[in-house]
Structure 1
């Protein structure tokens, strides 16, 4: 997997966290570095931890389904992507500006479920998992901090667009994996 593909996956799976961070920023009277760091750390740590868990789950089954792993990766990424696209169309409210432990753990966990599935996919692609999850967590950390600031400045105007783009990117990456492993791309390259 190339660095660009890893970056696109990192951005795509961080879109839920980014959207929630925007909402957090919207609900804050004043954004401080401490508040932005808090949001970024929760989301970044969970977005790094969940694919790591998914990776180790996927490694357990890698030998069994290696011959169909490209189909598995495609359907998993497409499923996540389509769900993100659907969520982008839902008109949900924003969470409160509460940065308490319980509230943030619930939000960080719920926005990182997709990353668990991505971790399973990473196991089939045989990537350097530590590098990959660190990269995903770092990208999410940065985007979440930026999201808090954007939310405080612009509001929820871009929330659904971020989820829509993230969903489309995941579907496209899943399709690329499928086309590469089935040899379809070789016909055109």
Structure 2
């Protein structure tokens, strides 16, 4: 049962983070005709980066054995703490990147996609260490990324910057919760 909560605690912060990014795009004035393309780009990176992280996590998890769950908790907790750091989500930090993403083409899209999906890489790494079901997780991450981006872009012009920043902090706190759930699951199983 804790596995279900762990998976939810891993996916929910990503959905919030994608929604926040989508709202920033909406505030930046992304054109209606660009919403689908942008959502698909975000979905590709948000679903692809956990795969890369998973492979790395599975390899390292196999090498460190019993310590893998604790290492996963440290990676997830560290990512959550990074998202909660002072100055995270300040005005201009995300907005600049999303304005560039909205008009980017070719390799610029790839580079921007990589830069905005680092947290998905960390989650994939944790998933690999924890040996969670990869295909299920990637499917759920892809679905949430598409819908959260679409919803965020549509509502973006109506959501205040302050609320967007607060949502980013909630995402960081949820990753810290995921780290605690991993540790709790390990202790209960022992």
TM-score normalized by structure 2? 0.84
How far did residue 87 of structure 1 move? 6.2
Q: CA 1:106–1:150 in structure 2 vs 1: closer, same or farther (change >3 Å)?
A: farther
How far did residue 157 of structure 1 move? 3.5
> Quick one: distance in 2 between partners of 1:16 and 1:106?
18
Q: CA 1:13–1:154 in structure 2 vs 1: closer, same or farther (change >3 Å)?
A: closer
Question: 1:99 maps to which residue?
Answer: 103
From 160, 177, 186, the equivalent of 1:181 is 186
> Quick one: distance in 2 between partners of 1:155 and 1:105?
29
Retained in 2: the 8 A contact 1:76–1:117?
Answer: yes
How far did residue 3 of structure 1 move? 4.1
Retained in 1: the 8 A contact 2:9–2:177?
Answer: no
Retained in 1: the 8 A contact 2:82–2:172?
Answer: yes
Aligned residues: 183
Q: CA 1:146–1:87 in structure 2 vs 1: closer, same or farther (change >3 Å)?
A: farther
Stretches of structure 1 that go unaligned for 5 or more consecutive residues are none
Question: 1:108 maps to which residue?
Answer: 113
Q: CA RMSD in A?
A: 2.3
From 127, 130, 135, the equivalent of 2:132 is 127
How far did residue 88 of structure 1 move? 6.4
Structure 1 or 2: more helix by fraction: 2
Per-residue CA shift, 1:69-100, capped at 9, x if unaligned?
Answer: 12101110110001111266452311227332
1:25 maps to 2:30 = no
Question: 2:42 maps to which residue?
Answer: 43
Question: 2:170 maps to which residue?
Answer: 165
Question: 2:72 maps to which residue?
Answer: 73
> Quick one: distance in 2 between partners of 1:114 and 1:164?
13
- Does the residue aligned with 1:92 lie in a helix, a strand or coil? coil
